[in-house]
């Protein structure tokens, strides 16, 4: 796990990485299954493809509905901005000229298995966190720090769940 940036305007990033004892093809199937993600996430409750999209593709859009104890419930529209099967899947959240976040999964073949990485960058566009910072600007660094730690925990849980699913399927397929 690692994260950089102390202020929202810095575009703080976080990333987690794990090795998966399964073929990249299997890991990719899970990573690119956006409909699966709510079952792997503490915050994301549901997704719905919009504008006629039914699966990930460059430019495809989906609405995600999320919940958080301190932030409440909200929905965002995301747009797929990188889609290079079976390697890279990324999307930006809200305001696509200045997204509130960018998320990316990277799948890389290695040592008979797969390196799986999840990365995210907060900002540069405003988000729900911006509202908390507006109310308490003197606490911006603490607010960002706490949220980035939450992202790290959630991302770690997500990649570990993908690893477990992929490796379970690999053992069944063997």
Condensed to tens digits (0 to 9), the pLDDT of residues 89-101 reads 999 998 768 899 9
Confidence of residue 169 (pLDDT cuts 50, 70, 90): low
- Give the CATH number for residue 15: 3.30.530.20
pLDDT of residue 174: 44
What does pLDDT average to over the chain? 89
pLDDT in tens, 8-64: 888 999 999 999 999 999 999 999 999 999 999 888 999 999 999 999 999 999 999
For residue 68, the enclosing domain spans 2-173
Is pLDDT above 90 for 1?
A: no
The count of structural domains within the chain is 1
pLDDT of residue 173: 47
Confidence of residue 111 (pLDDT cuts 50, 70, 90): confident
Confidence of residue 71 (pLDDT cuts 50, 70, 90): confident
Spatial distance between the Cα atoms of 138 and 102, rounded to a whole number of angstroms: 26
């Amino acid at each position: 796990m690692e994260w950089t940036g102390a202020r929202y305007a810095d575009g703080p990033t976080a990333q987690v990485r794990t090795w998966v004892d399964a073929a990249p093809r299997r890991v990719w199937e899970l990573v690119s299954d956006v409909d699966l993600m709510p079952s792997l996430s503490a915050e994301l409750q549901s997704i719905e493809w919009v504008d006629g999209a039914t699966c990930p593709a460059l430019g495809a859009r989906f609405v995600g509905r999320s919940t958080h104890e301190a932030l409440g419930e909200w929905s965002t529209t995301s747009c797929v901005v990188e889609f290079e099967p079976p390697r890279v899947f990324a999307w930006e959240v809200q305001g696509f000229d200045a997204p509130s976040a960018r998320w990316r999964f990277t799948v890389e073949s290695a040592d008979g298995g797969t390196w799986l990485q999840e990365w995210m960058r907060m900002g540069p566009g405003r988000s729900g966190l911006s509202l908390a910072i507006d109310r308490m600007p003197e606490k911006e660094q603490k607010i960002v720090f706490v949220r980035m730690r939450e992202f790290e925990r959630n991302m770690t849980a997500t990649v570990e769940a993908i690893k477990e699913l992929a490796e379970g399927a690999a053992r069944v397929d063997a």
